[in-house]
Amino acid sequence: MIACGLLLLCFSQKQRIGKILVTVGLALLIISSYEGVSGRILHILESQYPPINLSRIVAHQDGETADRSVKWIVVLAGGVAGDATLPYQLQISHHSRVRLLEGIRLHRMIPGSKIILTGGIGFDGPPEATTLSRVAEELGVSRLDMVLEVESRDTKDHPLYVRDLVHDDPFILVTSAFHMPRAVKLFEKQGLFPIPAPAGQWTPPRQFWSPANFFPSAAGVRLAELAYHEYMGLTWAWIRGQI
């Protein structure tokens, strides 16, 4: 908005529209840079699914048959760094790392479970799921306990390929807390019933009304970026009939 406004101010006669765009764009940027504000916007997404209560799932499994017990843990990849010279654990993004660690934690607490790592080839390098599996192996997960799904390119593809792996089996879905609402809706649209296990929640400051939370910061802009990206993704998926 700011860029469009500046172009109008410099190269057109529509000065009033240009001033409005610059003013509104700057105001939105400043508001979004307040971590106390952008964090609350992100929290709306994250609060829709609480952290998984694994004790209830394990207790529930004691009364289930082997065919209906939870044996799949689906971990959605969240990007890789793309620098093949780095160690594997440094090649994956922060979001991928948080999701993978949660998936490994759940795998170790559910006997006989297997981890499905889903994520295909991005702009370059090996599939995301392959890189995640190498990190998991370094953290002690057996290769026999992992299933790699390397065809999906983005969030909307994950359910299509995971469905062919889990069929009607119940499964735990691991992704970032802010990303969970869209992911769950996409999986449910394919007739699947994931058990949400959100990870990487934003931690609100202890004193929300502290003056420090109302100074512009890059951290606030980053939180706003995550929130706006998800809301745009939800809107676009709804328009295309994917959720």
Do 2 and 21 touch, CB atoms closer than 8 A? Answer: yes
The answer to whether residue 64 scores a pLDDT higher than 60 is no
Assign 14 to helix, strand or coil. coil
pLDDT at 27 over 80: yes
Of 13-27, 150-164, 179-193, give the lowest mean pLDDT range: 150-164
**H/E element, 149:** strand 146-149
Residue 123, amino acid:
F
Instruction: Quote the tokens at residue 26.
Output: 């700057």
| Residue 66, pLDDT score | 46
Mean pLDDT of 86-110: 90
What the block records as the tokens of 194 is: 């994931």
Pairing of strands 194-199, 146-149: unpaired
Please state, in angstroms and as integers, the Cα–Cα distance from residue 68 to each residue in 37, 62, 168, 170, 212, following that order.
43, 11, 9, 7, 50
pLDDT (0 to 100) of residue 116: 94
The whole-chain average pLDDT of the chain stands at 87
Q: What is the CATH number of domain 52-199?
A: 3.40.50.620
Return the structure tokens found at 123: 């702009």
Distance CA 120, CA 82 (A): 13
Q: What pTM did the predictor assign?
A: 0.84
Question: Which residue intervals of the chain bear CATH 3.40.50.620?
Answer: 52-199
User: Are the CB atoms for 176 and 99 separated by under 8 Å?
Assistant: yes
Residue 20, both tokens: 């409005």
pLDDT tens digits for range 125-183: 778 888 899 999 999 999 999 999 888 888 888 888 999 898 888 899 999 999 999 99
> Which residues make Cβ contacts (< 8 Å) with residue 193, sequence separation at least 6?
170, 187
Task: Count the neighbouring beta carbons within 10 Å of the beta carbon of residue 151.
Answer: 16
